[in-house]
Amino acid sequence: MAPPEAVPQQEQEQKQVPEQVRQSAPAAVLEARSVSKRFPGVMALDDVSFSLRAGETHALVGENGAGKSTLIKVLTGVHRPDGGELRLGGQPVRFARPFEAQQAGISTIHQEVNLVPLMSVARNIFLGREPKNRIGLIDFARMHGEATELLDGFGIRVDPRKPLHTLGIGTQQMVALARAVSVDAQVVIMDEPTSSLEPREVETLFRIIGNLRCQGIAVLYVSHRMDELYRICDRVTVLRDGRHIHTGDLAGLGRVRLVSMMLGRDLSEARRTGLTRFDGDGRGDGHGDGRGDGHGEERDEGNDVAGTPERTPALTATRLNRRHQLHDISLSLYGGEVLGLGGLLGSGRSETAKVLAGALSLDSGELTVGGRTLRRMGSAGAIRAGISLLPEDRKAEGIVPGLSVRENIVLAAMPRLSRFGVVSRRKQDRVVDIFMRRLRIKASSPEQPVGELSGGNQQKVLLARWLCLEPKVLLLDEPTRGIDVGAKAEVQSLIDDLAREGLAVLLISSDIEELIEGADRVVVLRGGSVAGELEGDAVTESRLLEALADHSPAPTGKAPAGQEDPR
């Protein structure tokens, strides 16, 4: 460990400099100035500026679509910015390829392990810069020795000759880390490094980050785990919708405040209701209103058509577990109600939906649909059981852009609309006509390719696809993301209508307002487990924010890893 006086000295100096001055302070190792990046139809980064200082651990946070990945890709040479510039050590730089960024001392650990599984551990670590002997051939003995030494420093004992794929995913991640650190990096970018690590490995990672800090290496740390950020990061940069929202010290920045910046919610209400009203168990016992305690004896006075809890739930999930992603998630979904599923990115909300729809397998847990317990069902089984999932990424997982509106709608219903394998065009047209009118899909004709429609109409086409299967349970993952305001309202009222007609709807949204207005109940996930459930009047912005942000009373940051807090 480092002599304690060296780093604190540096730290204190940082803290004395006003923020405005620091933004352009020469100590910035890596700096992005007004960087913009446009993709077809999306402004992924809009005039984003931020800087990384030597020896700091800098958190980069933001929800889905905030532009974190794009920013990382710009910094590492995967994408070239459309506007603005990068500065490395004060000098403007342009990276045409990832290789150039690495040459310049920026190394990256990607979220998924980006190594070569068939090659040995040592070869992976040293690919492209193998130690050579006198006549220019690779010196394997030295390579294995150095790899062993390097990994020993990380507290990992593996045979460096072993193929990488024989190791656990956490160990693989550590090998990636070893590779990133063993080049002479000035900047190490870590994109969700802990998402596949065991707690013990996380501790090792933090120790390594502490070491990097001592060597004056800047770390850009992307994570959704608040605890981790507050433990090891000095400063934080918040992005939202491709824009820079905030950069500042993490210590002294409350968690609720941070979350509200990520989500774009006003802080005033959160402040007013504050931490005092949120008393730990996430149930809101302090509320004296009719539906606050969730036991339901006063349900019959309910102001909605939501199913009464005495009815059997359309879907019950009991103690769902999935390694690293879901821990003991239990929830019930009733016909005629919209259940909101809240949570920050990485909280397990999409994974939960995918598990319910059979698209992800479970390690343990039980799913009951319409009174029947399902063990392994898979996507086809889920559809048969009446569960439909509208996926989060409609481009990648739903829409077939080259096919027409009609073809996209009837895709999943094909077996029902055909006899002896021959598709009845007449039946198709009838179904398509009904849904196009009902969902008010705006297209020139049913034959128009879906790729030409607006985002909102694409979403409606997808919705129609699942609705013509006549599902009992509809899982909607971010149904209004990326669609314009008018279409958003339409989709939202459509969701209400569907619930009123008796469908059980699970609504996942990072838009707090959408959850509050659209959902009868809200289950909040955090770190893969249920953090709380809000019902009726308890569904308020402040309580949601608190549940999202973690209500444990730790508004200020703890000491960074790798040293004791000197103050």
Partner 1 sequence: MNETTPVAVAQVPPPRKRPAVRGDGAPHRGAGHRPAPARRLLELLRSQGVLAVLLAVVTTASFVYPTFATLDNARGVTVQASFLAVVALGMTLVIITGGIDLSVGSVFALGGVLAAWASQWGVLPALLAPLLVCGAIGLLNGFLIARAAMAPFIVTLATLLAARGLLLAVTDEGATTYLVPKGSAFAGLGQGSVWGFGHPVLIALVLFGAGGLLLQRTSSGQTLFAVGGSSDAATLMGLPVARTKLLVYTLSGLLAGLAGALNAARLSSGVTIVGVGMELDAISAVVIGGTLLAGGAGSISGTLWGVLLLAVIQNLINQIGSLNSSYQSVVSGGFLIVVVVAQRCLARGRRAG
* Segment lying near partner 1 (by CB under 8 A), choices 124-132, 362-370, 398-406, 423-431: 124-132
Q: How far is the CB of 116 from partner 1 (least distance, A)?
A: 4
Subset of 464-503 contacting partner 1 (CB under 8 A): none
Nearer to partner 1 by Cβ, of 77 and 282: the residue is 77
- Three-state secondary structure readout of 269-293: HHHHHCCCCCCCCCCCCCCCCCCCC
Subset of 2-21 contacting partner 1 (CB under 8 A): 2-3, 6-7, 9-10, 13-14, 17
H helix or E strand, kind and range, residue 556: none
The reply to whether 69 sits near partner 1 by the rule CB under 8 A is no
Among 70, 102, 347, 509, binds partner 1 (CB under 8 A): 102
- Three-state secondary structure readout of 150-217: HHHHCCCCCCCCCEHHHCCHHHHHHHHHHHHHHCCCCEEEEECCCCCCCHHHHHHHHHHHHHHHHCCC
Among 37, 68, 79, 110, binds partner 1 (CB under 8 A): 110
The reply to whether 264 sits near partner 1 by the rule CB under 8 A is no
- The Cα–Cα gap between 560 and 558 comes to 6
The reply to whether 145 sits near partner 1 by the rule CB under 8 A is yes
Residue count, binding to partner 1 (CB under 8 A):
67
- The Cα–Cα gap between 567 and 554 comes to 17
> How many CB atoms are located within 10 Å of the residue 297 CB?
8
Q: How far is the CB of 130 from partner 1 (least distance, A)?
A: 5
* 344: DSSP letter: -
The reply to whether 26 sits near partner 1 by the rule CB under 8 A is yes
Q: How far is the CB of 30 from partner 1 (least distance, A)?
A: 13
Among 43, 84, 98, 169, binds partner 1 (CB under 8 A): 98
Give residues with Cβ within 8 angstroms of 385, minimum separation 6.
369, 370, 372, 374, 377, 472
> How many CB atoms are located within 10 Å of the residue 546 CB?
24
Among 117, 280, 378, 566, binds partner 1 (CB under 8 A): 117
Among 30, 52, 61, 115, binds partner 1 (CB under 8 A): 115
Give residues with Cβ within 8 angstroms of 279, minimum separation 6.
285, 286
Structure tokens at 551: 């209500």
Among 19, 85, 149, 328, binds partner 1 (CB under 8 A): 149
CA angle (211 as vertex; 207, 214 as ends), nearest 5 = 140
Among 40, 91, 137, 426, binds partner 1 (CB under 8 A): 137
Residue type, position 355, single letter: V
The reply to whether 188 sits near partner 1 by the rule CB under 8 A is no
Q: How far is the CB of 217 from partner 1 (least distance, A)?
A: 9
Residue type, position 26, single letter: P
Nearer to partner 1 by Cβ, of 159 and 269: the residue is 159
x/- letters, 29..58, toward partner 1 (CB under 8 A): ------------------------xxx---
The reply to whether 94 sits near partner 1 by the rule CB under 8 A is no
Nearer to partner 1 by Cβ, of 39 and 99: the residue is 99
Q: How far is the CB of 504 from partner 1 (least distance, A)?
A: 40
CB 111 within 8 A of CB 73: no
Identify the three-state secondary structure at position 380: helix
* Segment lying near partner 1 (by CB under 8 A), choices 30-38, 93-101, 474-482, 522-530: 93-101
- The Cα–Cα gap between 532 and 331 comes to 11
Identify the three-state secondary structure at position 547: helix
The reply to whether 150 sits near partner 1 by the rule CB under 8 A is yes
- The Cα–Cα gap between 156 and 185 comes to 21
- The Cα–Cα gap between 509 and 528 comes to 16
Nearer to partner 1 by Cβ, of 180 and 499: the residue is 180
Residues that bind partner 1 (CB under 8 A): 1-3, 6-7, 9-10, 13-14, 17, 25-27, 53-55, 78, 97-103, 108, 110, 114-119, 123, 127-132, 136-139, 141-142, 144-150, 153, 158-163, 165-166, 179, 182, 211, 214-216
